[in-house]
Amino acid sequence: MTQNIFRSIFRRYIVITPILLVLIVAQMEEYSQLTTSGTFGAAIRLAIPIMLAGLGGLYSEKTGVVNIGLEGMMIMGTWFGAWGGFTFGAWQGVFIGMLGGALFGLIHAIATVSFQVDHIVSGVAINILAAGVARFLNVIAFEDIAFASSTASPRITGDIGKLTVPYLAGGQINGEETSNLFGYIEELNIFLVSDFAGLVLGFLSNISHLTIFALAIVPLSVFVLWNTPIGLQMRSVGEYPTGSESLGVNVYLMKYIGVTISGALSGLAGAYLVIAGTGIYLEGQTGGRGFIGLASMLFGNYKPFGILMGSGLFGFADALQLRSPKAVHGLLVIIAIFLFVLALKTLFEKKYIPSLISLVLSSGFLIWFLNSESIPNQFVYFTPHITTLIVLSFSNQRIKLPEKIGVPYKKGELN
C-alpha cells in the first residue's frame, strides 16, 4: 500500500519537482542565469533539433522499425540544407535538407523492411555512411568556391526570418519599438512570476520562423498519428502487423512511410542547425543530437508533447553550459536531490542495489557542490549528456514500447 502511494506521488510530481528546484537555486545571485530570458531563448533554439529528431524516431518506431540512424539522417540534413541554402536560398535549403534526410530514411527502410537487415546494424551503417557521404559531397560541390573546405561549406544565401512579438516582448511596428511587458515583469525579480515571464520572453523574442514551423509539427503529429486513418494504420503495424495485414493494411507501405518521414524530420533537424544556427555546414555539428533525440523520445514515452518536454530539458542543459558555465555549478545540488529521490523510489520498489548506488552518487554530488565554487570545463561540456542519463534513469520504468518493435516481418507469416 505504502509503495503504491509513493509511486503515485512520484509520478505526479516528477516533472514539477525539478522545475521548482531550479527556481529555488536560481534565487542565489551566482546562479541567476538559470532562469533568464536569454537562457530560455537559447534553450528553445537548442531544443528544436533534438525535438525534431525525437519526432523522427517516433514515426519510425511506431511502425515497428528501430531507428538509431537518426544522427546520420541529421548529418545529411545539415549538408543538403547548406547546399540548398547556398544554391537556392534559405527556405529552399530547409526542404532540400528534409529530402536529404528522407533519402537516407528510405535506405534504412529498404534495408530493414525489404531485406530484413537487423535494425541496429542498419542504423549504425547509416550513421557511418552519412559522415563519409557528407564530406565527399562537400568536396565535390564546393571545390572551387571561396571560404569552403572539405569540412565546411560557404555561407548560405538569404534569411529565414525572425519574429519578436510587439508589446509582449518589445517587437517593432512600422519601424518603431513597442513596450516589453514580459521584460518589465522579469526585471521586477518576483519569485516564480519573473521566472515565468523570462520563459515567455525567451520564447517570444527573436524567434526564427523555422522554429515556429518546427513547433507546429508537434500538434500536427498528434493529429496525424492518433486522429487519421493512416496514423492508425502506422501504429497498428508496429503493434500487430499480421492482424493489420488481415484487415487489408499494406504493412510494408506503412513501415516505408514511417521510416521515410522519420528521415525527413531528422533532415529538417539538421537543416535547422545550419539555416537557423551557424549559417554554414560544419563537419560534426550535429554533436550527437540524434542520439539525444532518441533519449527525448523515450523520456516522452512515445508521445509528441512528451518529446517536446524532454527535448526542452536537454536544450536547457545545453544552453546553460553555453551561456553561463558558472550556473552549471548550481545544477550539482539539483542532480544530488534527483538522485536521492531516485534512491527512495528504488528502495520502495525493493531494488536495494540500485537504491544504494543512487544514494552514493547523490552524496557524492552534494559533497562536490558544498566543497567547490566552480566545476571543470570538461564537466560543463558534458552537462547535456549527463542530463540525458539521469532523466532516462527516472523514466525507464514507464516506457511503453510498440509490441513488435525491431521484430522482422514477412508478408503472410503468422506471429
Does residue 343 contact residue 362 with C-beta atoms inside 8 Å? yes
Average pLDDT along the chain: 87
Task: Specify which residues 172 forms β-bridges with.
Answer: 177
Q: Where in 191-287 does DSSP place strands (E)?
A: 207-208
Q: Name which of 148, 105, 44 is nearest 256 in CA terms.
A: 105
Q: 307-317: per-residue pLDDT in tens?
A: 998 898 888 88
pTM: 0.90
What is the sign of the dihedral through the CA atoms of 87, 92, 94 and 96?
negative
CA distance 281 to 155: 8
CA distance 164 to 209: 10
Q: 92-133: per-residue pLDDT in tens?
A: 999 999 999 999 999 999 999 999 999 999 999 999 999 999
- For the ranges 16-30, 187-201, 378-392, the one whose mean pLDDT is highest: 187-201
How many Å is the Cα radius of gyration of the chain?
23
Higher-confidence position of 413 and 332 = 332
Please report, for residues 77, 134, 291, 301, the alpha-carbon distance to residue 73 in angstroms, rounded to integers and kept in the order given.
6, 11, 11, 22
Least confident of 66-70, 137-141, 250-254, 362-366: 362-366
Q: How many residues does the chain have?
A: 415
CA distance 415 to 409: 9
Task: Indicate whether 386 pLDDT > 80.
Answer: no
Least confident of 251-255, 345-349, 366-370: 345-349
- Counting runs of H as helices and runs of E as strands, what totals does the chain give? 19, 4
Please report, for residues 43, 78, 140, 200, 327, the alpha-carbon distance to residue 35 in angstroms, rounded to integers and kept in the order given.
11, 30, 45, 11, 10
Q: 56-91: per-residue pLDDT in tens?
A: 999 999 999 999 999 999 999 999 999 999 999 999
CA distance 246 to 265: 30
> Residue 368 corresponds to which amino acid?
W
How much is the pLDDT for 391? 65
Share of the chain above pLDDT 70, in %: 89
- Domains, the chain, in order of start with CATH, read 36-164+206-325 (1.10.3470)
pLDDT band for position 415 (cuts 50, 70, 90): low
How much is the pLDDT for 396? 55
